[in-house]
Amino acid sequence: MILLSTILLLFVAAFFVWALRHYLTATPLRGWMLALFPAGSFGLLLWQTLELGDSAETLSIPWIPTLDLSLSLYFDPLAALFGMLITGIGTLIIIYTGYYFANDKSAWRFLSYLFLFMGSMLGLVLAGDVITLFIFWEATSITSFLLVAYKYKDEAARRGAFKALFITGGGGIALLAGLLFVSNIVGSTEYATILNSGDLLRNSEIYLVVLSLVAFGAFTKSAQFPAHIWLPDAMSAPTPASAFLHSATMVKAGIYMMARLNPALGETEAWFWLLSIAGLTTMVVGAYLGTKQNDLKALLAYSTISQLGILMMLIGQDTEIAFKALIIGIVAHALYKSSLFMSVGIIDHETGTRLLSRLGGLRRAMPITFVIVVIAALSLGGLPPLFGFLAKETLLATAVHPSLPLLMTWLFAVAIVIAAAFKLVQAGLLTIDVFTGKPRDPAIHAHEAPKGMLFAPAVPALLSLALGILPEPKQLAEFFGEAAAASYGAPVKVSFALWTGLSIPVALSAVAIASGMLLFWQRQRLITWQRQLDGWSFNQLYAAVLATIDKGARAATRIQTGKLRFYLATFLLAMLGLVALTSGSAWTLPTGQGGTSGLHMQFDIIRLLALVAIVGGAVATVVIKRDFFAVLALSATGLGVAVYMIVEPAPDVALVQIVVDILATVILVLAIGRLPLRLRETAQKLRTGIQWPTLLIAVTGGFLVTWISYSALASRPRPSLVTPFYRANAKILTGASDIVGAIIVDFRALDTLVEIGVFSLAGLGVYTLLRFAAIKHADHGQAIDAQTPLAPHPLQTLGIGGFRVSPYIRAMGDILLPVALVIGSIHVLYGHDQPGDGFTAGVIIGLAIGFKYVVFGFQETRRRLWWLRPNILIAIGISIAIVSGAATTIMTGSFLSPVDYGEMLSLPLPTGVKLSSGFLYEIAIALSVLGSVGLMLDTLGRPAVDVDLLAEPPAPENRGN
């Protein structure tokens, strides 16, 4: 719990800053006071470290017990080392921030972000399982985003912040994926288990995938080449943030992660090569690029990159000395780099610039800063007697370790010497060029910073010195050794002795120092030469990634043309692909054998004619340009299908097909009749001829469907299961001798109920959309016959559109409705025993009404059919169905089950007529269908004459992109 409290303390601090933002004065005192939080956290960690036994301390809070997930902490010397670096340097940073933002009351925001970051960072290193780690990992990405974008009005700050967030946050997700794989292989998300399952992981077949994902996450976070590009841009953060994030903490997260996972994932060839090459490249590139920077912060940023490369490379090794070098390198870098960052911040603060070209001769004005920078920079340059020297020595010792292949030894040694030489140049630039000589810019009037502000960078600088020259503190060395051992997986001995006798590393070190001095002496030439080589940077890679995303986005949106035709084609193609994918392998040529029913190859003249009607109608629908004729052709197709069904024989289905086909035609004709003529003409002109690609897709689709249907018929594995069942049971169970009637009303009563609901909704939909559109267009149902008739147009069919029709047809219109009512009643009454049912009844009556609309026009029809209230018919219909269903429930315990009321009450009914629940249901169906049809007709029959619309060009089809 103490461990948890070290993290919580920092989050409490963030809250504290926010809560007291109006009361905390903008004086340095604010920083000193707030520094108590991280200091307290540091103290607790120190105490815990001293208490720490041989094994790691863990704490687990169950989170999702079902998945065996918990939020855990894992505390061992490695975590302790990082934790103390974070809180220790954090304390100094907070003090420093107090001075940096003195007189800025709004800086509470910065302080609170800083605490949030610190808490997340501490959480990251103390995390004991994959999920906790990931949560804190992303939290550091987000909080560092806030810190970098603190000066958000500055475009550069926004860009830099987004770049950092994108690269590190994205890497975090890759890391999560990798760690999920790890957990999956190991069977647990806990470190304690993962770290002991190294062999399992290394032998896993997806080891390389895991390794790449984890390494990708770590490399992005720790600014490894070529993902390093975010770090220099993140320098737009206020200096305290840079000093903290980019020296000791955030960029070390990837290092920590890899060091932590070394026992589990490391010690393989792939691990060695991946980390060595990445680290080596990063080290050289960082050192090289840092030297040519003019901005001191950028210089420090590149030197950080270089150091991160060194550390990453060290983790890749499989030798004891490497991990000794790793721990020393981490600590040395954290000390001198934070000190240098803070000093640069002071210089910037006191002179108003941090450009090398403007600075110089600050030694007189800022003596203390000078001393601090000298110490830290010498450590950076790897000169004795500072801690940085030791770091470089051990590094070189690693490079010449006999276990390495000779080629690698050479490569390492040369690279390290080059990098070390460049670093020495950087150290020189930081000290000699900035502090000695004459001021380059006379406008700059420097003065020394307040003593308190100097305290913060002085502490780590002095520690760099102390660790180098003081007699070896035994406990500390042991602690470092334990931390290294936690990462190495075997004991590591650490000593701080600077001089270990004349050896190859010392010799190499001397070469490095000598060449560094040489380079520094010739620095003008070097930097000029370097700047001439400019022009290519890895920012282009980032830009390329962004461009790829943009290209991908373009490609992904290109198919989104907004054109329906195109969507349909894609749809069809995708359907073909999908069907091929699911069933492609299983198809064999249908042989017609094995099927029980076989394929009936009957062909007679009726079937042939029907076929001609179906195919011809379908083709004509596509080819014909005039809309009315196309609709009629479509209708012919439907009727052709109906003929087939009659021949089959399936009279019920055929009946439904016929009435629905006619109804659809009537509705389409009415709908088209409402459209403004000019719009229709334009649309017809737009109907182009056959387009070959479209035709190809259509033919392929048709062929596939035909193929499937053919094999469906040819190799049907068994005859219908249901027909015999219904044939046997319909009469007994439901009292119906028409199977289809029985299915609709009894066996599948629920389907039917939903279906009439859907049908009613469709009617309601037509009504809602068209009526309200009409009202919006200020059309109050004014009849067309009341207006001046438009000039006759060849496209208009007779009978609608306000033309007077012949008396013969008017008489038909009058007769048809009563006849339809009679037929409908018969369908309802005898639906149980013969073709026809409530649905056909409703549609047939509806058709007669539709005929009236066509013949008489809207107003007269409304006058004649004043009793027709479609809404009420629908409501009564559905209500009867539900009430009747509920009644049968009460009586038989089954919803919509058959009950014969006529028999129960022994009513004297004519033969064949039954007053049963089925009968009531038929009535319900008929009424709601009639209501829905009536609603559509009423809406569509209403003329929508809007003169304005006639003049309007066709609405553009889309705005898709």
Partner 1 sequence: MFAAPTLNLWVITPLIILTVWAIILMFIDLFIPAGKKQWTGWLTLVGLIPALALTLMQWGQTGGAFIAEGGQPMVVVDNFATFLNTLYLLTGILAVFISVSYIRDAGLERGEYYFLMLFSIVGMMLMGMANDLILIFLALELLSIPLYILSGFDTGSDTSEESALKYFLLGAFSSAFFLFGIALTYGATGTTSLPVILDTISLDDPLALAALGMLLVGFAFKVGAVPFHMWTPDVYEGAPTSVVAFMSIGAKVAGFAALMRVLGQGFPMWGELWQPAIVVISALTMIVGNFAAVRQQNIKRMLAYSGIANAGYILIGVAASATDPEAISASLYYMLAYLFTNIGAFAVVIAVEKLDGQKGLLVEDYKGLAKRHLLLSLALAYFMFSLVGIPLTGGFTAKFYVFGAGVTAGLYWLVVIGAITSVVSAFYYLRPVLYAFMYEGPAVARVSRGLMFVLVVAVFATLVFGIFPGPWYELASQATFGNVATFVAGG
> Interior CA angle at 315 toward 311 and 317, to 5°?
120
Can you give the length of the chain in residues?
961
Pick 470 or 686: Cβ nearer partner 1: 686
Tokens 């055929």 sit at which residue? Answer: 654
The dihedral sign for the CA sequence 18, 19, 25, 30: negative
Tell me the closest approach of the beta carbon of residue 272 to partner 1, in angstroms.
Answer: 24
Pick 379 or 734: Cβ nearer partner 1: 734
Q: Are 785 and 857 in contact (CB under 8 A)?
A: yes
Tell me the closest approach of the beta carbon of residue 764 to partner 1, in angstroms.
Answer: 7
Single-letter code of the amino acid located at 307: Q
Tell me the closest approach of the beta carbon of residue 828 to partner 1, in angstroms.
Answer: 22
Tell me the closest approach of the beta carbon of residue 931 to partner 1, in angstroms.
Answer: 12
DSSP assignment letter at 958: -
What's the distance, Cα to Cα, between the start and end of the chain in Å?
A: 55
Pick 716 or 810: Cβ nearer partner 1: 716
Please give the radius of gyration of the chain, using alpha carbons only, rounded to the nearest integer.
43
Give the C-alpha separation, 315 to 689, whole Å: 69
Pick 51 or 751: Cβ nearer partner 1: 751
Beta-bridge partners for 355? 295
Tell me the closest approach of the beta carbon of residue 23 to partner 1, in angstroms.
Answer: 21
Q: Are 878 and 931 in contact (CB under 8 A)?
A: no
Pick 218 or 415: Cβ nearer partner 1: 218
Tell me the closest approach of the beta carbon of residue 704 to partner 1, in angstroms.
Answer: 8
Tokens 């409304």 sit at which residue? Answer: 862
Pick 130 or 483: Cβ nearer partner 1: 130
Pick 532 or 588: Cβ nearer partner 1: 588
> Interior CA angle at 742 toward 737 and 745, to 5°?
145
Quick one: which of 416, 424, 411, 378 has its CA closest to 395? Answer: 416
Residue 809, Cβ density class (10 Å: 0-12 exposed, 13-18 middle, ≥19 buried): middle
Tell me the closest approach of the beta carbon of residue 360 to partner 1, in angstroms.
Answer: 37
Pick 279 or 595: Cβ nearer partner 1: 595
Tell me the closest approach of the beta carbon of residue 439 to partner 1, in angstroms.
Answer: 37
Pick 469 or 754: Cβ nearer partner 1: 754
Q: Rounded to the nearest 10 degrees, what angle do helices 320-351 and 451-469 cross at?
A: 160
Give the C-alpha separation, 520 to 386, whole Å: 20
The CA-atom distances, in angstroms, between 851 and each of 133, 567, 578, 808 are: 74, 36, 44, 13
Give the C-alpha separation, 37 to 17, whole Å: 11
Structure tokens at 207: 């080891």
Give the C-alpha separation, 797 to 427, whole Å: 94
Tell me the closest approach of the beta carbon of residue 570 to partner 1, in angstroms.
Answer: 6
Residue 526 backbone dihedrals phi, psi, to 5 degrees: -60, -50
Tell me the closest approach of the beta carbon of residue 343 to partner 1, in angstroms.
Answer: 30
Pick 540 or 709: Cβ nearer partner 1: 709
Tell me the closest approach of the beta carbon of residue 859 to partner 1, in angstroms.
Answer: 23
Structure tokens at 875: 């409501």
Tell me the closest approach of the beta carbon of residue 876 to partner 1, in angstroms.
Answer: 10
Report helix, strand or coil for 850: helix
